[in-house]
Structure 1
Amino acid sequence: MYVLGIDGGGTKTVGVIADEYGKIAAHQTVGATNQNGVDRNKVESELINLFSSLKEQNESAFSNLSVVFAGMSGVDRPDAKAVMEKMISTMVPNDTKIVVDNDGVNALYSGTFGAPGIVQIAGTGSITFGINSNGERGRVGGWGYLIDDEGSGYDLGKEALHAIFKEYDGRGKKTVLTESILRHFNISLPPELIHIIYQVGKSREVISPLSRYVAEAADHHDEVAKEIIHHAGRKIGKSISSLAQQLFNAEETVPVVLVGGVFNRSDLVIPAIELALKDQKVQTTLLKPKLPPVGGAVIKAIQSKNAAVQDGFEEAFLSMG
């Protein structure tokens, strides 16, 4: 049985044809397919490129696809989901089952291998998404950087800037973040940051990369940076505990998959997350994903045919990916 898993986002889209043993028959990466940020004609063009390449690589596997599972960002609205389903239906064999869903499923199953649990995504933005054993779903956060995205790279960068201006005003503690971030922008004083930060439509992409200086400062025992990271971890922990309490029984130990650049420094963030979870009396197991997100999409595709992932899937998938 061959299935196609797709992980589609605002930066790139990855497609993999594989079987239930994890053996990859074809794989390809194309551009963005998030309808919230890309024109629909462009989305269709990228999908055409994806499917054409997969078919060219292995026409036999493509012609015998059982399921396409497309875990995509930007398909939460019914109309956007319907558009994606229609596009894909024109590009695959007629009897292929098509399932379009949120890309959070990919991230979750990349760590749980199709089992219930929670995925905590903390990259440029943040969101907490989960599925329980009854198939019920929930989410916490992810409402955009202007009002939410707690614990994200943007959140860390914003708090670093806040700390810099508090020090400059005499309202806050001294921090090495000032020197690091001024050097990053090649400027001399914090007020010079204002015209950089408040560029129309640019704030998020300017602020998010500053999160790395928070980790560097914490490594140098900067108290302000350590407080920022601690608070970010507590916020993430609170989101996880909130969703766990909504979806799971108190006696269950919930697997939580940690995905995103913030967790590149899990040594700094995880202790605070664990403290928040302990305060809320939520039992969890924190996991780093074993597969890339598209691997989670392949697993969901296999499940969509009421089939099971076979032993050795992970090793085979990673060895050929």
Structure 2
Amino acid sequence: MKESIILAVDGGATKTTLTVRSSKGKKLFEQTAKGSNYQTVGEDVAIQVLSKLLSEAYRSINLKQIDVAAFAIAGLDTEIDLAIIRDIIKRSLKKTPFRAENIIVENDVHATLLGLVGNHPGALVISGTGSVAFATNGNGKVVRTGGWGHRASDEGSGYWIGQKIVNTLFRIEDGLLDGPTILKELVFEKLQIKSMGELMSWLYHPSYTNAQLASISSILPKAVSIGDEHAIMIAQNAAYELFLLVSAILHKIHYQNEIMPLYVNGGVLKHHPKILNLFKQSILQSFPFVSIELCNEEPIEYIVKRATHCLMDNGI
């Protein structure tokens, strides 16, 4: 039986990983470059990043024929995004000798879920800088809840937690909430500042990014372990928001209490034990037959599995 060739791309806002594997699992090429989410870097840069990675992959393996190419790209949220990203991929591929028999273009979380579960029911919730949940009924239906960015959603995410922490500090400063809170000391220590005025300047500095605000969420576990009431409240609310994401996604696939995996990923669910434990409790109380499993592999591995499932489905 002929050995098939798989090309997989995990294209995020900050980095892009491209790998080429054989159907037997041999790694022929793998390299990481800067981000290729066109919403973040622009279409021209996305093409440059993908073209360079594809060209270097071709020079390394010297094979023209790719049986399945799976492009899992962040920022693919609408049909308009899909059309733009397909054009970016088409233009990038044209710059190389590669010829792909089957091309998959999907949102990165969508592709990760299908890499995890294949043609079986399952769900995936991610809480990192942002938050999103996907689920499939195993019969081709894939649905989504959340992931609409910090201006519209991202509840329970690192950004959301960072915002709640900062909001709590300013509300205490204004006398709208009772203090004190250890959160203030921890934020000041993390940012190397000494006053609320400096915090204000940091928030509205021209170089401010959402990722910077999300990074403040890293102080929450310590504040929770100390027993800070404001920190505990934020953790409880974050866990509840993530539970709502999963509850909504399960209802969308008409989940009927069958045994099914729920995969969890992202820095909030991996590094905030209080949030993870509260989230698990809520899920198991409402959906006792759902098994919660933590994603432990690098994202590109799930994209490779997505491409491998495609090979199997097409009998390649």
| TM-score of the alignment, normalized to the shorter chain, above 0.5 | yes
Cross-structure match for 1:230: 236
2:168 is the counterpart of 1:163: yes
Q: 1:200 to 1:280 in 2, by over 3 A?
A: farther
Question: What do residues 170-193 of structure 1 show as CA deviations (whole Å, max 9, x unaligned)?
Answer: 322421011111233333332442
Unaligned runs of 5+ in 2: none
Cross-structure match for 1:73: 74
Moved more, 6-15 or 130-139: 130-139
**RMSD in angstroms over aligned alpha carbons?**
2.3
2:157 is the counterpart of 1:152: yes
Cross-structure match for 2:178: 172
Q: 1:192 to 1:5 in 2, by over 3 A?
A: same
Question: Equivalents in 1 of 2:97, 2:113: separation in Å?
Answer: 26
Equivalent position amino acid for 2:132 in 1: I
Equivalent position amino acid for 1:164 in 2: L
Q: CA deviation at 1:23?
A: 2.1
Q: CA deviation at 1:69?
A: 0.7
Question: Equivalents in 2 of 1:169, 1:75: separation in Å?
Answer: 40
How many pairs does the alignment contain? 307
Cross-structure match for 1:118: 123
Moved more, 245-254 or 229-238: 245-254
Q: Which runs of 4+ in 1 moved over 4 A?
A: none
Normalising by structure 2, what TM-score? 0.88
Question: Equivalents in 2 of 1:290, 1:214: separation in Å?
Answer: 22
Question: Equivalents in 2 of 1:265, 1:75: separation in Å?
Answer: 27
Question: Equivalents in 2 of 1:224, 1:108: separation in Å?
Answer: 34
Q: Is the 8 A contact 2:13 2:35 kept in 1?
A: yes
Q: CA deviation at 1:94?
A: 3.3
Question: Equivalents in 1 of 2:100, 2:174: separation in Å?
Answer: 66
Question: Equivalents in 2 of 1:92, 1:257: separation in Å?
Answer: 37
Question: Equivalents in 2 of 1:283, 1:116: separation in Å?
Answer: 13
Q: Secondary structure at the match of 1:172?
A: coil
Question: Equivalents in 1 of 2:56, 2:131: separation in Å?
Answer: 32
Q: 1:124 to 1:295 in 2, by over 3 A?
A: same
Q: Secondary structure at the match of 2:41?
A: coil
Question: Equivalents in 2 of 1:92, 1:263: separation in Å?
Answer: 41
Q: 1:94 to 1:110 in 2, by over 3 A?
A: closer
Cross-structure match for 1:314: none
Question: Equivalents in 1 of 2:115, 2:141: separation in Å?
Answer: 19
Cross-structure match for 1:300: 306
Unaligned runs of 5+ in 1: 310-321
Q: 1:190 to 1:283 in 2, by over 3 A?
A: farther
Cross-structure match for 1:250: 256
Q: 1:95 to 1:119 in 2, by over 3 A?
A: closer
Q: Is the 8 A contact 2:21 2:29 kept in 1?
A: yes
Q: Is the 8 A contact 1:16 1:24 kept in 2?
A: yes
Q: CA deviation at 1:113?
A: 5.9
Cross-structure match for 1:217: 223
2:32 is the counterpart of 1:29: yes
Q: CA deviation at 1:258?
A: 1.2
2:189 is the counterpart of 1:183: yes
Moved more, 118-127 or 279-288: 279-288
Normalising by structure 1, what TM-score? 0.87
Cross-structure match for 1:289: 295
Question: Equivalents in 2 of 1:286, 1:57: separation in Å?
Answer: 39
Q: 1:218 to 1:49 in 2, by over 3 A?
A: same
Q: 1:202 to 1:266 in 2, by over 3 A?
A: closer
Cross-structure match for 2:13: 10
Match of 1:134 among 130, 139, 152: 139
Q: Secondary structure at the match of 2:189?
A: helix
